[in-house]
Amino acid sequence: METLEVNYIAIIVGAVASMVVGAVWYGPLFGRIWMNIVGVNPEDEERRKEMQKGAGPLYLIQFLLTLFQVLVLAHLIADTQRVGGIERALWIWGAFVVPSLAGAAMWTMDATKIKWARFLIQGGYQLVMFAIYGALLQFWT
C-alpha cells in the first residue's frame, strides 16, 4: 500500500500558527474571560508577572507537543487517500479533542457558566487549529 509523503515545513508552519493563533485567542479575543475562568485578576500585575516568569518552558513544551500533534495528523492524512486533510482533522477534533475537553470541563466544581465558557473557548481554539492543520496538510503537498 503506497502512502503519500508528509511535508515537514507544513508541520512546522502548523505548530507556529498554533502559537500565533493561541496568542490572539487567549489574548485580545478571550484573554480577560480566560483569566477570570482560571482565577486570575487581569488587573493584578504582580500575579501576571509571576505567571509569565514560568511560562517560557511551558511554551516550549506546548510547541513540541503541537509539533508532535501535527506530525501525527500529517501521517494520518497522508495514509488516507479517501478522506481529505480538513475532513480528517475535523473528525479527529470531534472524536478525540471534544470529548477530552468536555470531560475536563464537566468534572470540576466550577459553575455551569464557567464550565461552558472554558469548554467553548478551548474547543473553539482547537477547532480553528485543526482546520488550519488539515488545510495546510491537505493543500500544501
Residues 6+ positions from 7 with CB-CB distance below 8 Å = 74, 137, 140, 141
* Phi/psi at 5 (5° precision): -75, 150
pLDDT above 70: residue 59: yes
Determine the longest span between alpha carbons in the chain, in angstroms: 58
Q: Which of 125, 121, 126 is nearest to 32 (CA)?
A: 121
Q: What is the pTM of this model?
A: 0.70
pLDDT value at residue 128: 96
Q: What is the pLDDT of residues 20-51, one digit of tens each?
A: 999 999 999 998 898 888 887 878 888 777 77
